[in-house]
Amino acid sequence: MNHLIDINDLSAIEIEALIDSGCEFKKNKSWPKLSSSNCSMLFYENSTRTRVSFELAAKYLKVTLVNIDVATSSVNKGESVLDTMCNLQAMGFDYFIVRHQQEKLPQFLIENMKGDFHLINAGSGKEAHPSQALLDAMTIYQYKKVFSGLKIAILGDIKHSRVANSLIQILTILGVKSLYLISPASWQRTDIANTIVTDDIEYGLSEADVIVCLRIQKERLEKSDVIDFDEYQQNYSLTIDKLQLAQKDAIVMHPGPINRGLEISSQVADCSQSVILEQVNNGVFMRMAILNQLSKS
């Protein structure tokens, strides 16, 4: 693995190895030192979890990391992402962690940068968020130990969510057969094979082992996609009543940030079945596993 751009670039064996590695970093704190690496982070979109957990992961592995403050950088004088990265590379950076609204930008950067470097896609448009999918898979593995045989329900704004896109890819590769995508009709996707698409939340959540609740991507909604949020909240917000449709030991996940009372009630977000903060914790160890794996190529 030279870069982490898209989950579909990985095999089941590579994903399982990353999950094992993330679990090992979590359990055994005698971590390796990757001190010959210099890593720069460029976030052209806001972030708390992804940015900070990569920062911690790099710190734990003794990687020098510089978080480029895009808002005060020469990006504002018109410098392109490619030129910014080439300049950083000239200073000695060999790892780049990039979040940007433009889809296919990571692929463009790989094709146009020279020399040896590693690129991690920390979120590209509606398309991909591979490190989130990996930490989500690690979390499901932690609680359920298997993937095949699980009923997993993804609930919410499927259409605009890079988290959903990468999660569907990883769960499919890991052998999940019963994958339900629940959303209002206007936020559904019909181009994904081997999933059950429904606007019926009761049917979708019934006896689910895992529920992944999504944030409404308000910043990505086009005019034709805007729906009545009060109606959404009434019909699709994950409440305690709706949670009871799932298995008694179902886990509730959410990539964050959560909008309490809109896509998920506070009662559910804070209940004993919620593993939302465990996902955040696993994010640090999965991102250590990613940096460590890239350092081997």
Question: Is residue 47 within the footprint of ligand CP (CB under 6 A)?
Answer: yes
Q: Segment near ligand CP (CB under 6 A), from 43-51, 168-176, 196-204, 223-231?
A: 43-51
Question: Is residue 49 within the footprint of ligand CP (CB under 6 A)?
Answer: yes
Question: Is residue 220 within the footprint of ligand CP (CB under 6 A)?
Answer: no
What is the smallest separation between the CB atom of 47 and ligand CP, expressed in angstroms? Answer: 3
DSSP class of residue 25?
H
Q: Are 121 and 112 in contact (CB under 8 A)?
A: no
Strand arrangement of the beta sheet that strand 178-182 belongs to: 196-198, 178-182, 151-155, 210-213, 251-253
132 vs 292, which CB is nearer to ligand CP? Answer: 132
- Give Cβ neighbours of residue 76 (< 8 Å, ≥ 6 apart): none
Nearest to 125 by CA among 90, 151, 98, 93: 98
Max Cα-Cα span within the chain: 56
**Contacting residue, 11, 35, 48, 235, with ligand CP by CB under 6 A:** 48
What is the smallest separation between the CB atom of 101 and ligand CP, expressed in angstroms? Answer: 12
133 vs 294, which CB is nearer to ligand CP? Answer: 133
Nearest to 215 by CA among 30, 47, 97: 47
Q: Segment near ligand CP (CB under 6 A), from 11-19, 57-65, 224-232, 249-257?
A: 249-257
Work out the end-to-end distance of the chain between its first and last CA atoms, rounded to an integer number of angstroms: 6
132 vs 265, which CB is nearer to ligand CP? Answer: 132
19 vs 89, which CB is nearer to ligand CP? Answer: 19
Q: Would you call 256 helix, strand, or coil by DSSP?
A: coil
Q: Segment near ligand CP (CB under 6 A), from 56-64, 112-120, 151-159, 251-259?
A: 251-259
CA 106 and chain centroid, separation = 16
Interacting residues with ligand CP between 82 and 141 (CB under 6 A): 123, 132
Paired strand residues for 159: none
Interacting residues with ligand CP between 253 and 272 (CB under 6 A): 255-257
Which residues form the interface with ligand CP (CB under 6 A)?
Answer: 47-51, 123, 132, 255-257
